[in-house]
Structure formats: structure tokens, C-alpha cells
Chains A and B, each alone.
Chain A
Amino acid sequence: MMKEVNLIGFMCNWCCYAGADLAGVSRFQYPPNIRIIRVMCSGRVDPELILDTFLYGADGVFIGGCHLGDCHYLEGNFYAEKKVEMAKRLLKAAGVEPERLRVEWISASEGERFAEVIREFTEEIKELGPVKSEKEELEAACIAAADYRLRILATKERELLEEGNKYGEVFTRHEMDRLLEDMVQEDYESKRILLKLKKPMSVKEIASELNLKSNVVLRRILDLKRHELIGIHEIRANTPTYIANTREGFE
């Protein structure tokens, strides 16, 4: 027997949530695995929220908004699209299948389609079964999503692709993909290291535990140190060990 899965759906009040209501009024059946959280706009959802939902134990997350161009708030769903993309990259980095996150545009009149999409999504997630990644991997992705770099990028991606940055440089899709890829990888690795450094460890120890190259770990360590997120714990036989700074004083 396939294992039961937990699905959480974030649906915008105006379209997808109303579409779900219409599915109900019209009695279109779908599996009960999905639990729906109402938000005013799909643009309310950010990568951190999505990753946190996985961390809480969801096996699939569904984001439902208005059709592109029909957003009740004009363009919230365009931002949602970018944020979902960002979340998918982070999921991939954390070893979670990106298909576990799905975004769909469903209008208030598409009750039948809503039921169909949810049936399909539930089946897909049932095939995948429960999330297999380690908690710490998801946690690292989650902290990376919460950090300012990826949040800014997820919001400004549209602007950078369409209007360009402050210097008028417009990014191509290809350039943007590379930038996102690098940044996600970098931030994810940094956060993994940060989480490991709850107890003191040397570069080599981290490298072997996270299966990363030592030079990459060293680069991330130096970055973290520069941001005063970690410090040197002690020097053992010419090898320094590092430890994360407690966040007291930051709050």
C-alpha cells in the first residue's frame, strides 16, 4: 500500500480558493490529503514559508493563484511564480524533488479543473512517497531562503529581466539562471556549514561530513567568518576548528 502523504495548499482568496469552493459546491471529488490555507494573494507566499512547510512535515506544497494577468492585486502572481522557482532551486539543493512543489493558476470558475489538478498532484506525491531528505538539509535550505540575498533576488528577478539593474544592464534568462544557480548553491552550502558548526569542527571534518571539497568549505568558512556568523573555537595541532556564534546580540 502506498503511504499516505500530507499536502498543504496556499491558495489566494480571489481565484484558487474560490475555485476550491466551487469544486465543493459542484461536488467534484478529490483525495483528502490536501489541507488548504487561505492567503489573500499567492504573492504572499515566499520561499522561506514554502521550505518551512516541508520542514513541518508536508510531503507536497501547492500554491494556487489567479491566472497570470488576472491577479486581483494586478501582479502578485508574477512574484509568486518567481518565488516558487526560487523555492524549487532550494528544494533541489536540499535533495528534495522539486515536483513536490507545484504552482497552478486556477480561476474562481474552474471548480472542475481544481479537483482534477489536486487529484493529479496527490497521485504524483503518493508516487514519490514521504520526503526522504534529512531534516538538517531542509533546515539549511530554509535558512538560505530566509537570508536577504535570495529574498532580494527572488523579488527583483522580474525587474532585472525586464528593466535591468541600476546600471541599466538587463539580464538574459541564461545569465539569470546561472546567477541563481550559483547563489543558491553558495548560500545553501554556507547554511549547511553553519548548522554543522553548532559544535566545533575543522574544515576537513566538515568537508568529509558534507561531502564537499575542502577548498569550497574553506571559502564558505571565510565568508561566514567575515560576516561574524562563526568564529575560531580553538587551534588543534595547527588546525583551527570553528564554531557558530550564538545569535544573541543580534535579536
Chain B
Amino acid sequence: METIRTGVYICHCGVNISATVDVKAVAAFAEGLPSVVIARDYLYMCSDPGQELIKSDIKDLGLNRVVVASCSPRMHEPTFRNACADAGLNPYCFEMANIREQCAWVHHKGATEKAKALVASAVAKAALLEPLERKKVSVVPRALVIGGGVTGIYAALEIADKGFETYLVEKDPSIGGHMAQLDKTFPTLDCSACILTPKMVEVARHKNIQLLTYSEVKEVNGYIGNYNVKIRKKPRYVDEVKCTGCGECANACRLHGIILNEFDVGLSKRAARYVPFPQAVPLLYTVDPDRCIYITKGKCGKSPACVDACPADAIDFDQKEEELEVEVGTIVVATGYDLLDPAKRPEYGYKYTEVLTGLEFERLSVASGPTGGKIIINGKEPKEVVFISCVGSRERKGITNYELRITNSNLDNQTSKMDGGARNEYCSRVCCMYIAKQAHLVRDKIPDARVRIIYNDMRAYGKGFEEFYNRVVAEGVEYIRKELEDEVEVIKRSEDDDKVVVRTISGGIELEADLVVLANALVPRKDADELAKILKITKSGDGFYLEAHPKLRPLDTFTDGIFIAGCCQSPKDIPDSVAQAVGAAIRASIPLMRGEVEVEPLVAIINENICVGCGTCEVSCPFDALSLEAGVMRVNEVVCKGCGSCGSACPSGAISMRHFKDEQIYAQIEAMCLQKL
């Protein structure tokens, strides 16, 4: 048996660790531990000279185990493993003690003693570690992009341009996302549709992109390089090849002009057969299955009007839902956001026709919108317009004065409904600038309108933002500042009044308005949870998807091969979303270009001499990695994710988890318990 020779390295991390941990004392303590040949401390172990220290010791002192006590292994384990490998030591003969995040930073007192215990535990485990080999697996040279907004479009184009086949899955009938709904974009005032639609067309035409609209990702199995994705393609009830997008079916539909059009945020009406907007990609008339008379009632006149009207004979009510199964190497998630439902905050008076959300204003203002770009409220041009910022953003959780009042007066029990994103502590980031832009548009279209903006703080942080803000102020838009805690409410003096009153609780502000625009918060999509579970990615406390590291790995998730970009990670504007899209696309392309990836060898192993083939472990494996062959259980090492549930289930103790073996964990426990406080 080889003699264990361990080197222990204690990091000061500048003063991050050394401020509360006596690093020298820990090093001296480590020197006395069994198998330790050398214990050193150094200012920054992760720096080049720090890593050099380890490498030269491995060579000069013949170390065969290395322990670094520094930050979390979630941070620098790969760094030090690579350093070990560089010096010829198997990277799995390395163990880390987390004395920064879980010790120095959280204990004012007792940190040194705890650091000793953690180092002793790591040394004990290290002695029992076994060299492991990483398996190389080939990568399917295809990618999946989920979400067809501007972020998904850019990500898909970027990957496809590199020469890889890309599936772009969009839930709605058309790609384009929220950006397709916008009028002009801040701060440059270029028309949103003009810059987006060419890209949408490019996606549809690109030889490497397979566009799957009106489809949803239902199931994802596998691992980096080899994801198996099940996609549900909803029936449109139209032949995609034959449909020319002429629109005769929609004109003929018996529900023409009756159903609220979601794309216009309910400001216009459509038929049960529809395209969301004229520039839709693909331009196919889709059936709204919840409304279509033929589908819901089974009968629509003598024969459905759309069938009779279609000159291309494209209508096909026999279409069924399809399930596609695709194999991809990497996945980019770009699912975007939802907008806070303003009805969740009744104090803002959304029930009044004079009160609109920011997105509704966009549809009203855009030239291709239901009013042809004319801003009309109650049949006339509004002369007094008030914008309210931070509706549902920058608010602490907890009950507001408004809610207290209505619960106290028992008007109705609204408070119970006011949860789930009605108040969000984060800043939605785009509202300050889109309000400024919309204020500019009002002044542009109705020059004699008085435009006032009630705001808390002006956040003009981006390129050209402050300049744009200055321009809007110079144009005569009035900014009225209030305190964050000073709540706003929108009321009517009498129900038949066509004006609303915006006032603050403190009484400091009271304004009459013909039109009020609410900058409602950007919130996580309502299906964000479901998709997170399908992809096995994590979310942060605010409900958006969580990046692997806020600064160094902003586009990665904790699941290898799955990347996030755009507003699904946090609210951001178009330039930031596009930048992330391109970044995530590059991250997702790397494994595709390399053609193979290394997978962690941390899997379950079975001692076939002990296994009795009872099958208890099989029950607890959610990945079906275990199967009974000739009376003994076998592990499919590529499918096994290494959770260890089978090991803790095995009644005969035949299963052990590589790198987390029983004896390794027991060594840790023993060492920790020996170091009393």
C-alpha cells in the first residue's frame, strides 16, 4: 500500500480569512495531523505563485494528497484540481476545506478552532481518497434554444452561424417575444419592429435553425453533450405547407372581431383563427383551441367558415398534438419574463379605462397598433398624462398602508390575493427609461399635452441614458419626485368622471389626469417554476433563474451544458439581453466545437460480491441508472448522476459512492468530533 503524503495549504485570502482565523496557528496544527508532510500558509492560494507552491511540493516532496483550506469548493475546486493534474497528481486526490464562506466570514469568535476542525476533516478524508479517471463522452453537435424573444433569436442565430444545427422552441404561435410589441426603443428611439423583424425572418430562413413555434419543452433527460429533449408541438389546425398566410379564414371566422388579442394586450379584437401580428414568423393562421366553435362545440354552422373560405385548402381540423424527440448537446434558456398583473395592486386603479400599463401604452402608440399610433383615451386625445414608476418594484415585502386600510375597513379581503410577486424588492431596471421614452412619445404626438412623471429615483445607468433623460426634461416633461415609502393611489372623484386623480398617501402630490401609465414590474414567468424542474436548474429568491456565479459565471447554471440569457435571469433591457444571448451562445457552442466533454466520475459503484439483487436501490433511483443483470445490480455510469440515494438505500451495504464513500465520510465525522470547541 502506498504511504499517504499530504500537503496542506492554508489561504489567507488577503485578509478575508486571516482577519478572523489565525492562519499560522491552523498551519501549525495541520503539521501535526497524521500523514501530513508539509503545511504552509500563503496570501492567495489561487494565485499563480500559490498554485506553483502546490505544484513544486507535489514534485519535490512526493505528495500524493493535497488539501487546500480556503474558499468554497464550489468556487475554486476546479482551479486546484487542475493545478494538481498539472503536477502529475490525480485531480481527485485533492480535498478542500471551506474556511472562508463557512467559517471566517460567519464567525467573529471561534473561527480558528473551527478552521482546525475543518482542516482535520479534509486531511482525514484526503487520506482515503482514490484516484479517479474522468470519462470522455462525445457531444451531439446540436443545440436547443428555449424562448423565441430577442434573446432566444440572437442566441439561436449565433449558434447556427457557427455551423451547428439549432432548435428554437417558442411557446407562442410566433417568435418575437415582448420586443415585437414595443413601439420605439430607448434611448435611441429606433423602431423596435424595424430592428427585430429582419432578425425574425433570418431565423426562419437560416439553414441551421429548425424553428419550432407553438411548441413547449416537456421533458429533458441526459447530461451535457447528450440531452434528450421531448417537445410537445401543439396543433395549429392548419397545414403549415399549404397555408399562405392570406388571412381569408380569419375574416370568415364567425368569431371575427370578438376575441381579445393578447398581442395588443387586449386593446384589439381578433378571430378564433389568427396570427398574433401581421409580421409574425411563421405567418400561419393558428386556431385558438379554447375559443374556436368547431373545436369547443364540435360543430360550427354547416361546416366551419374558415374551411369554406380558405383558397389553399390548408385547413385541417384532424391535426393532433405531436411529440418530437430531439438530441442536443447544449441548451440555452431564454424564456424572458411576465409583467406584474396590475389588478393585484388595486390601489393603482387599473380597473379604470384611463389607467394603462406600460405595455398597453406601447400598443397604443405603435403605428401598427390598433389605433394606428394615435393615443386615444375615452375617444379623445389625453391632455394630462401621468406616469407612475416602480409599480410592484423596489418594494419590501409586507403589508402596505393601503392594504391595512382596506382590511381594517373590511371593504373586501384583498390582501390574501396580494402575494406572489405583487411586491418585489428588486428594481425592474427598464421602467425609468421606458417612461422617459413614452413621455417623449406623448409630447411628440400631442404637443400641448402636459406630461408628468411621479418617480422615486431616476436610474439612468446605461449608455446614452442620462443624455436621453436630460433631453426629455428639456422637452418639457415634468418629473415629480416622491419618497419610496410614500404610496401612490389612483382614484376617481365620481364614477362617471372621465378623469382620474393620482395622489400620494402623504398628501404631497395630487394630480388630475386623462391618462395614467403604470410602470408595472417585470416578474418571473408563471411557468418558470415548471421549466426549472424540467431542466433541473435553480432559481434565486426573487424567482428568476440563478446563475452559477454572479460575476464569473453569469450565463452558466449549476447544470452543466445549460445556460441562461436575458430576462429569465433578471430584468434587463434589449442591449443587455442581446449581449447575454451572444455570450450564452458562445458558452453553449464550446462543447459542440470540442466534440467531446469530460464527465465527472462521481458515480455509484456496486460490490458484486455483496449485492444480493434485492432491487431496493432500483426504487430510489430517479434516473433509471440501475438495472438487474444476472442477479446483481449494475450501474450505467453515464446515466448515473452520483446523488448517492441508492447507496443509502442498499440493505446489504453493497453500493458505495465514489468520492463520497462511507469510510471517507466517517473519517470526516471522526476528525470533526475530535476537535472539540
Contacts and interface: CB of A to CB of B under 8 A. Distances in A.
B669 A27 contact: no
A79 B669 contact: no
Interface in B599-655: 602, 614, 616-617, 619-620, 622-623, 641-645, 647-653
Contacts of A45: 648
Nearest to A110: B541
A58 B648 contact: no
A175 B314 CA distance: 60
Given A35-B121, A115-B106, A44 B645 contact: yes
B538 A14 contact: yes
Given A4-B677, A25-B105, A79 B620 contact: yes
Contact of A152 (B616, B660, B666, B672): B616
A24 B102 contact: yes
A40 B648 contact: no
B669 A56 contact: yes
A37 B667 CA distance: 11
B84 to A, nearest CB: 19
Given A43-B648, A107-B538, A108-B546, A57 B106 contact: no
Interface stretch (B110-118, B249-257, B507-515, B568-576): B110-118
Nearest to B105: A24
Given A8-B669, A52-B666, A108-B538, A41 B644 contact: yes
Interface of B: 72-75, 98, 100-103, 105-111, 113-114, 117-118, 121, 532-533, 536, 538-541, 546, 558-559, 602, 614, 616-617, 619-620, 622-623, 641-645, 647-653, 657, 660, 662, 665-666, 668-670, 672-674, 676-677
A33 B677 contact: yes
Nearest to B536: A72
Given A41-B643, A44-B657, A49-B662, A151 B74 contact: no
Interface in A1-39: 4-6, 8, 13-15, 17-18, 20-25, 27-33, 35-39
A142 B648 CA distance: 14
A40 B643 contact: yes
Contacts of A40: 602, 642-644, 657, 660
A72 B107 CA distance: 29
A58 B669 contact: yes
Contact of B650 (A18, A25, A149, A151): A151
Contact of A44 (B75, B647, B651): B647
B102 to A, nearest CB: 5
Nearest to B602: A40
Contacts of A245: none
A220 to B, nearest CB: 20
A240 interface: no
Contacts of A5: 677
Given A32-B677, A43-B648, A79-B649, A27 B121 contact: no
A151 B645 contact: no
Interface string A132-145: 00000000000000
A195 B602 CA distance: 36
B659 to A, nearest CB: 9
B72 A24 contact: yes
Contacts of B109: 32
Task: List the 8 closest A-B pairs by CB distance, nearest first.
Answer: A24-B101, A44-B644, A46-B648, A43-B645, A148-B651, A41-B643, A32-B110, A73-B643
A109 B106 contact: no
Given A40-B602, A73-B641, A31 B538 contact: no
Contact of B74 (A4, A13, A41, A152): A13
A164 B668 CA distance: 38
A109 B672 contact: no
A147 B674 CA distance: 27
A74 interface: yes
A85 to B, nearest CB: 14
Nearest to A11: B102
Given A29-B108, A37-B121, 6 more contacts: A4-B677, A6-B677, A25-B101, A107-B541, A151-B651, A155-B620
A25 B552 CA distance: 15
A24 B75 CA distance: 13
A31 B107 contact: yes
A39 B75 CA distance: 16
Contact of A32 (B114, B539, B643): B114
Contacts of B644: 39-41, 43-44, 76
Interface centre among B75, B536, B677 (most CB of A within 10 A): B677
A123 interface: no
B114 A35 contact: yes
Interface centre among B100, B620, B647 (most CB of A within 10 A): B620
A107 B676 CA distance: 29
Contacts of A75: 622
Given A23-B106, A115-B106, A148 B645 contact: no
A6 B669 contact: no
Interface in A33-86: 33, 35-41, 43-46, 49, 52-53, 56-58, 69-70, 72-76, 79, 83
A79 B102 CA distance: 26
A32 B672 contact: no
Contacts, number: 177
Contacts of A15: 538
A180 interface: no
Contacts of A6: 672-673, 676-677
B113 A32 contact: yes
B538 A56 contact: no
A24 B673 contact: no
A164 B287 CA distance: 44
B516 to A, nearest CB: 35
A56 B667 CA distance: 10
Contact of A35 (B546, B657, B672): B672
A159 interface: yes
A37 B669 contact: yes
B643 A43 contact: yes
Given A20-B101, A44-B643, A159 B622 contact: no
B645 A79 contact: yes
12 contacts: A24-B72, A37-B669, A43-B620, A43-B644, A46-B648, A49-B648, A79-B620, A79-B649, A107-B539, A109-B540, A151-B650, A155-B620
A159 B74 contact: no
B100 A109 contact: no
A22 to B, nearest CB: 8
A92 interface: no
A56 B670 CA distance: 6
B488 to A, nearest CB: 29
Contacts of B102: 20-21, 24, 36
Contacts of B533: 69-70
A74 B111 CA distance: 35
A66 to B, nearest CB: 8
A67 to B, nearest CB: 10
Interface string A194-221: 0000000000000000000000000000
B665 A49 contact: yes
A22 B118 CA distance: 18
Contacts of A30: 106-107
Contacts of A154: 649
Contacts of A4: 676-677
A156 interface: yes
Contacts of B673: 6, 8, 53, 56-58
Nearest to A147: B651
A170 interface: no
A146 interface: yes
Given A18-B74, A44-B643, A146-B653, A28 B616 contact: no
Contacts of B651: 147-149, 151-152
B539 A109 contact: yes
Contacts of B620: 43, 79, 155
A28 B538 contact: no
